[in-house]
Amino acid sequence: MIYLVFIIPILGMMLYINTVKLLKNMKEGKNTANQTGWGSLLTGLILLFTLLLILSMN
């Protein structure tokens, strides 16, 4: 389960980049459906892997 220590920060960086791209698209009036979908997927994965990491510590 030590690999989760590396996966969670990578997913966090991807979520940050996705959020910046979402905000840029909103400012320019472009379609934001892709960024919204990716953002929800990345958030779900971060939460899942964080819970798995917490459970593996016990």
Q: What confidence tens digit (pLDDT) does each residue in 13-22 have?
A: 999 999 999 9
Q: The pTM is what?
A: 0.88
Enclosing domain of residue 26: 4-57
Give 57 or 13, the one with higher predicted confidence: 13
- Number of structural domains (the chain) is 1
Is a pLDDT exceeding 90 seen at residue 3?
Answer: no
56: CB partners within 8 A, 6+ apart: 1, 4
What residue type is assigned to position 43 of the chain? T
| Euclidean distance between CA atoms 3 and 13, whole angstroms | 16
Cβ neighbors of 7 (< 8 A, separation 6 or more) are 49
Residue 17 CA to residue 23 CA, distance in Å, equals: 10
Task: Compute the distance between CA of residue 8 and CA of residue 58 in angstroms, rounded to an integer.
Answer: 18
